[in-house]
Amino acid sequence: MGMYDDLTIGFLFFNPFSFFSFFLWLGMRSGYLSPEYIIDGVYSTKSDVFTFGVLVLEIVSGSRNRGFTHQDHKFNLLGHAWKLFMEDKGYEIIYAPIRDTSNLSSMLRSIHVGLLCVQKSPDDRPTMSSVVQMLSSESTLPPPKMPGFFAEREK
């Protein structure tokens, strides 16, 4: 059977509080929830910005945030992307089969915007309208701060 059996679905149907807990658990497992939501239970539009940033970094890198591993360090995808970007090696984050295309500058800009979206503090993250403007223009972007959940794992 699949990931969720009939008993689980039935329990969720009869217990609405568990339904919310189920989706919270699912979100935490996938690595898309913002730090302020996981730590304090606070949700805002800036939480959506965080999720968008994770998705951008996953798409450009071809890797998932949750379960990401690298041979040289113990960082998750967000930490790996930030580390390389700050070392001016952002091109190394890009999924190898698409790295040598003519859109390298657009991909590097997408990584930069993605990193701005996953900053630890919601106040440091841009609004979604700012994100659209940043992605569709050539304006100078501020340097990203350390991402939320800049994780190091035990090997």
pLDDT of residue 30: 59
pLDDT of residue 76: 83
pLDDT of residue 27: 52
pLDDT of residue 140: 95
Verify that 13 and 43 share a domain, yes or no.
no
Termini Cα distance of the chain? 32
pLDDT of residue 5: 47
- The domain of 5 spans 1-30
> Residue 75: beta bridge partners?
152
Please report whether residue 153 resides in a domain: no
Verify that 4 and 23 share a domain, yes or no.
yes
pLDDT of residue 100: 77
Verify that 74 and 3 share a domain, yes or no.
no
d(CA 102, CA 80): 24
Predicted TM-score of the model (pTM): 0.76
**Residues whose CB is less than 8 angstroms from the CB of residue 63 and which lie 6 or more positions away in sequence, other chains included:** 77, 95
**DSSP 3-state of 110:** helix
Record the tokens describing residue 30, joined without a space: 């996938």
pLDDT of residue 7: 42
Please report whether residue 152 resides in a domain: no
pLDDT of residue 114: 97
d(CA 61, CA 23): 26
Please report whether residue 41 resides in a domain: yes
- List per-block mean pLDDT (blocks of 10 residues) for the chain, which spans 155 residues: 45 49 52 76 85 92 78 79 93 86 88 96 95 94 86 57
**Residues whose CB is less than 8 angstroms from the CB of residue 104 and which lie 6 or more positions away in sequence, other chains included:** 91, 94
pLDDT of residue 152: 57
Please report whether residue 151 resides in a domain: no
pLDDT of residue 61: 92
Verify that 11 and 53 share a domain, yes or no.
no
pLDDT of residue 112: 97
Number of separate domains in the chain: 2
